[in-house]
Amino acid sequence: MLFNGVVSKILGFIHTERVSYKLHWRESLCFYKYIAIGDEPFNHVYGDQFFPFVVGAAENIQTALTKAKLAGRVKLVVPCSFDAFQSESGLPSKGHFRADVNRTMSELLKFLTKHQSPFFVNISPFLSYHSNKNISLDFALFKETARPHKDSRRTYKNSFDLSYDTLVSALSSAGSDKMDIVIGQIGWPTDGAASATSSNAQVFMKKFLEHVRSRSGTPLRPKEPPIETYILSLLDEDNRSIATGNFERYWGVFTFDGQAKYQLDLGQGSRKLVNAQNVQYLSSKWCVVNNNQNLSNATTRALEACSSADCSALSPGASCFNLSWPGNISYALNSYYQQHDQRADSCDFGGLGLITTVDPSVGTCRFIVQLRTSSSASFFISHWRITAATILLWLVGGGF
């Protein structure tokens, strides 16, 4: 494995407490290359709540690594969200870190330089497209038809290079112009928004990987591509926060049950992604609306189901958005039913629910059946996830 992380919520504890992970860490950490401190602690949605703890937490864990004689093998990094640096003019050459993160960022850059750790950044052309009216879909997808952006004599043909060089300028302004950069996360979601489709994801990933393999670099760092790149992500995550959008649960190259959404050439022998085999599901049963019941409170029941279940595929532009009523109600009820492992009482909804063995999926809208959670199935899925994750990250991170 290449990557492990410390959740942002416990940064305060690690900052204030002397870390004495003596060496029950040692054997497991031998397989890791990086430890990430927090999950985008500089993301604007968190405000400054994590700023006081980031560097202190890193120093404490660094001390533990040194005592374990792992400091030269395992590097500490802090994943930086793409909104932590900016350029009001839209010109990469004017890039700088947000004013509110400057002090903490200065301390962090000194720490990274001292320990020869790279700068980890999560770049998202998809989010840039959604948040910036000057970024077209073609520009985000590396399409040759995209209108280029000019910055003095430099020409930018895609959103990735634009964001990357904005960071390069920000690092230079902070006195770290030579620091190595790792792309900690990059990808394209396949559901949850109008432009989040498998076809767009395939185009983006194909063009991006070609760009990385070419080693052409960017206008500000020609022939110096990021030293490593990590794809977001291996699998869809139905419990991932949707604070920034319903698409957040669909970054996976594979579906939640290990089926490839599209084909992608990772450039390492086999040219095809391989689906997980012998995946064990619960029974082929779904929970749908009982049309023989009074449906006057159906919408209320659906909202109750969606308050705890995953209904992100019903959002505007998503794969199930076009379901007519009461099909969309059935989708909500089934999502709740599957989340609760098909317990009979989880398809009650005051008599509104009906268990059926007829698959209600329509077109691209898939009514899922949950995975079986027996020990054998859990072992199989976990083993597949770990093996595939290791291979996928290695292929993209170190295979070029």
Q: Which residues are catalytic?
A: 40
CA dist list (Å): 355 to 51, 334, 349: 50, 9, 12
CA distance 258 to 386: 12
Residue among 269, 279, 278 at smallest CA distance from 394:
269
d(CA 310, CA 334): 10
How many helices (H) and strands (E) are present in the chain, helices listed first? 11, 13
Q: Take residue 333 and report the two structure tokens written for it.
A: 């009820």
* Burial class for 193, CB neighbours closer than 10 Å (0-12, 13-18, 19+): buried
3-state secondary structure 42-53: CCHHHCCCCCCC
Coil, strand or helix at 121: strand
Q: Give the residue among 178, 171, 210, 237 at the shortest CA–CA distance from 385.
A: 237
Beta-strand relationship, 119-122 and 80-81: parallel
Q: How many CB atoms lie within 10 A of CB 341?
A: 12
Contact yes or no for 314/320 (Cβ under 8 A): yes
